[in-house]
Amino acid sequence: MATTKETSRDRWDTIHKNGPFPLKLFLETKLEKKANLLAPIDRYNDAAIEIQRLLSEALDNNEGFRSIGSKWSMSSIAHHKDRMHFSAYMNLKFEISEDEMHSDSSFQRENVYLFQCGNQIKELSQYLENRGKSLKTTGASNGQTIAGCISTGVHGSAIDVGSVQDYVVGLNLITGPHPEDIVYLERHTKPALSDVLPTKMNAKIIRNDGLFNAALVGLGSFGFIHGVVIEAEDAFLLQRYVRKIKKETALKLAETLDFANSKFKIPTELDDNGKGKRPYHYKVFVNPYGKEKEYVIEAIYKKPYDPLYKAKYGDPIPFMKEFVYRDLIYLLVKISQRFPKAIPKFIKALNKTIMPEEKSGGVKKDIIGKLSEIFWDAGYQGRAFACSFGVDHRDARKALNVLTKLTRDEGPVPGIFAMRFVKKSEGLLAFTKFPYTCMVEIDGIQWKKSKKLMSLAEYATRMIEVLQENNIPFTIHWGKNANWEFPNLAEHMYGADIKQWKEYRSALLSEEMALVFSNGFIKKLGLSNFDVAAPEDLIASL
Amino acid sequence: MKAMKLCIALLLMCCLVSCYSVRLKVSNGQAEPQDNEREDALSGLYVRELDTIIKVKTTTDEYPINIRDCESGALHTVQIKNTLGGILLYVATFGSKRKVKVTYVCLKDPNL
């Protein structure tokens, strides 16, 4: 049997120390040993029984239950005051056989995999690389679990790929303690698996686009995500360039994403007509206090896989560790940890700072590596905060101006802005909801309110207010800092989709289990309400 | 004289606790995670420590120190800490006593 270690606790915290939050019981489940239960599917089903036992206990005690992965979210989305479950050791991996593929599937069997919830991005990348495959994108780092990524909408800046949830094609959820509470969801218009594997999982199969898209970014509240079916792709390489370009050029690119007609050109990344190729990834770094006329940008281009790339171009990992823009905020953290009272002065110094170009041994270095190498270990970087707003990329300049002006005029705030760009997600509550979403984000170090510095809570509130005052439609990254109690916030961001999401959730979960899977975070947002009149046909298999 | 003794004692104490550490880490493996409140480079990882003095006799060879608690059978990170006290112990005992302070993180069992 899979076993769960139960520990009484009085508090819990995120990896970035955004809490602490109160807690009663911490649970950690480990799989049955291979030697005792050889077949992976038996170990998987055995774990499902254990999760159902834990859900039953929570239910019997009138307590809530929330599963966590790597606790990278800075908001309280992962927190529950009653029972928190650490799932990172539930990391089985499955290839899909021919008979397990749906006959109408448009996916290639070799690209489809089932991963248990606790698999972390780094181990998935390694597993896939050993098979000549790759994830399509990551959250620009590698420590999160796959279930955590999709529950909160983790994204990188892969313009035409999307977020992590956008290559998920199937979900195995455990919605309660009863046998019929194990379900397998996928889109009816894009089926992936035949009934063979879900039957082995003892899962009820529901093929339904609407339900699947609602559950996809489920905020940890659509049941326990036990398994995730993903579509991978053939291994590829990424070539990364960091350049300084004129602000106007960088912002025009942000608004248009028209790389073909931009003044920004990299000589080695032009098409046959001399036009700029469209990069896989585009990111703009913005020092809100700087007066320089250029922005640092990061452009990454996709290349065919070459097994000799390390011999030809060198090992990318030492360079990624060294380069400033991999995590510029690291420098801020280190300095501010040592001299917390110097934060205002340090920010002032940023006024004069001209962001240096990345160099290795004095030579400008463009890096080539696999996805997992370009976005390598992030590691712990101190007590951090991050606020991240999604806007239509056509509003990118306007949103950036509004937010940086706020930061200068009412701040300072110890952080640096960036803009990343992500294709629209089909997830009903995905914050990447615009055709192309520009994520305008500020990352920095936590600070204490003083005469010179407003609090993070005040800053987060003002960010929402100024975007509303300027009529810029926006979303907020579910895993980042924000004033989540801002009046009518969820409806403002998602409109009628909120009602629909709650209806799907109410149709899938029983009322008592909806309560178990609700936490303070979704209650604050008004997302936990149960709709007893939710139509049954919402969860019909189509 | 008393002050001098005190100074020597303080100097000796400083020497004994002064140390350096070296951290080795595999680049292509997933470390064992743990929900903890560490605030260092090993935050979020299941860190184990080995702090002992090994005795090497003429008739027995203590090498290697067996690590039995990695379920994956592999190490992800090893941090070796050395102190002047440890070096002095080694020299004073002609190598028969060796202070070992190792912090390590196992590789997460990939469950393949």
CATH code: domain of residue A245: 3.30.70.2520
Residue A207 has which token pair?
Answer: 């093929």
Residues of B in contact with A92 (CB under 8 A): 111
Check: pTM over 0.95? Answer yes or no: no
* A149 phi, psi to nearest 5 deg: -60, -50
Q: Is the model more confident about A29 or about A335?
A: A29
Give CA–CA dist A442/A288, Å, rounded.
9
The one-letter amino acid at A144: Q
* Burial of residue A512 (number of CB atoms within 10 Å: 0-12, 13-18, 19+): exposed
**B36 reaches A (C-beta below 8 A):** no
- For residue A508, give its domain range: 492-539
User: Which residues in B1-112 belong to E strands, given as ranges?
Assistant: 19-25, 47-55, 75-83, 97-106
Judged against a pLDDT cut of 50, whether residue A213 lies above it is answered with: yes
pLDDT digits (tens, 9 = 90+) for A155-172: 988 999 999 999 999 999
For chain A, percent of residues with pLDDT exceeding 90: 80
Q: Report, as an integer, the average pLDDT of A504-526.
A: 97
Mean pLDDT over the full length of chain A: 92
- Does residue A374 lie within any of the structural domains? no
Same domain as A523, residue A440: no
Residue B18 has which token pair?
Answer: 């002064």
**B69 reaches A (C-beta below 8 A):** no
Q: Residue A326 — very low, low, confident or very high, per pLDDT cuts 50/70/90?
A: very low
Same domain as A128, residue A251: no
pLDDT digits (tens, 9 = 90+) for A354-408: 455 556 555 667 789 999 999 888 767 778 899 999 999 999 999 999 999 999 8
Measured CA distances, A165 to A6, A136, A150, A215, A478 (Å): 30, 10, 5, 10, 13
Same domain as A219, residue A250: no
Least confidently predicted of A32-41, A308-317, A435-444, B6-15: B6-15
By Cβ distance, the residue of A88, A92, A382 closest to B33 is A88
* Residues in chain B with pLDDT values less than 50: none
- Does residue A146 lie within any of the structural domains? yes
- Does residue B43 lie within any of the structural domains? yes
Count how many domains chain A has. 3
Q: Report, as an integer, the average pLDDT of A71-75.
A: 95
Which of A167, A150, A326 minimizes the C-alpha distance to A242?
A326
HSE-CB for A209 with a 13 A CA cutoff: 4
Calculate how close chain A gets to B39, using CA atoms only, in Å: 7
- Does residue B79 lie within any of the structural domains? yes
Residues of B in contact with A114 (CB under 8 A): none
Residue A77 has which token pair?
Answer: 């989305």
Calculate how close chain A gets to B79, using CA atoms only, in Å: 16
Whole-number pLDDT of residue A359:
60
Same domain as A289, residue A175: no
Q: Report, as an integer, the average pLDDT of A444-460.
A: 87
Give the torsion sign (CA, A300, A301, A306, A312): negative
Whole-number pLDDT of residue B41:
87
Whole-number pLDDT of residue B3:
74
CA terminus-to-terminus distance, chain A: 35
- For residue B48, give its domain range: 19-106
Whole-number pLDDT of residue B4:
75
Q: Do A456 and A482 touch, CB atoms closer than 8 A? A: no
**Residue that finishes a domain, picked among A170, A205, A234:** A234
Same domain as A242, residue A228: no
Whole-number pLDDT of residue A324:
47
Judged against a pLDDT cut of 90, whether residue A42 lies above it is answered with: yes
By residue count, chain A amounts to 542
Do the Cβ atoms of A93 and B41 come within 8 Å?
Answer: no
Same domain as A321, residue A403: yes
Calculate how close chain B gets to A242, using CA atoms only, in Å: 24
- Does residue B54 lie within any of the structural domains? yes
Residues of B in contact with A336 (CB under 8 A): none
pLDDT digits (tens, 9 = 90+) for A77-105: 999 999 999 999 999 999 999 999 999 99
Do the Cβ atoms of B35 and A28 come within 8 Å?
Answer: yes
* A174 phi, psi to nearest 5 deg: -115, 115
Do the Cβ atoms of B30 and A26 come within 8 Å?
Answer: no
- Does residue B83 lie within any of the structural domains? yes
* A166 phi, psi to nearest 5 deg: -80, -10
Same domain as A241, residue A227: no
**B41 reaches A (C-beta below 8 A):** yes
Report the 10 Å Cβ neighbour count for A383. Answer: 17
Which helix (H) or strand (E) covers residue A399, if one does?
helix A396-410
By Cβ distance, the residue of B44, B110, B112 closest to A15 is B44
Least confidently predicted of A373-377, A493-497, A520-524, A532-536: A373-377
Question: What's the CA angle centered on A352, arms A347 and A358, to 5 degrees?
Answer: 95
Same domain as A243, residue A199: no
Question: What's the CA angle centered on A156, arms A486 and A495, to 5 degrees?
Answer: 35
Q: Report, as an integer, the average pLDDT of A30-53.
A: 93
- Does residue A20 lie within any of the structural domains? yes
- Does residue B111 lie within any of the structural domains? no
**Residue that finishes a domain, picked among A174, A209, A234:** A234
Helix H, strand E, coil C: the string for A83-116 is EEEECCCCCCEEECCHHHECCCCCCCHHHEEEEE
- Does residue A43 lie within any of the structural domains? yes
Count how many domains chain B has. 1
Same domain as A226, residue A246: no
Same domain as A141, residue A11: yes
Give CA–CA dist B52/B98, Å, rounded.
8
- Does residue B65 lie within any of the structural domains? yes
- Does residue A375 lie within any of the structural domains? no
For chain A, percent of residues with pLDDT exceeding 70: 91
- Does residue B3 lie within any of the structural domains? no
Whole-number pLDDT of residue A354:
44
ipTM: 0.88
Torsion over CA of A373, A374, A375 and A379, rounded to 10 degrees? 70
Query: Among residues 4-33 of chain B, which lie with CB inside 8 Å of chain A?
Result: 27-30, 33
Same domain as A384, residue A317: yes
Residues of A in contact with B43 (CB under 8 A): 15, 380
Whole-number pLDDT of residue A492:
97
Query: How large is the C-alpha radius of gyration of chain B?
Result: 18
- Does residue A523 lie within any of the structural domains? yes
Do the Cβ atoms of B43 and A143 come within 8 Å?
Answer: no
Same domain as A446, residue A306: yes
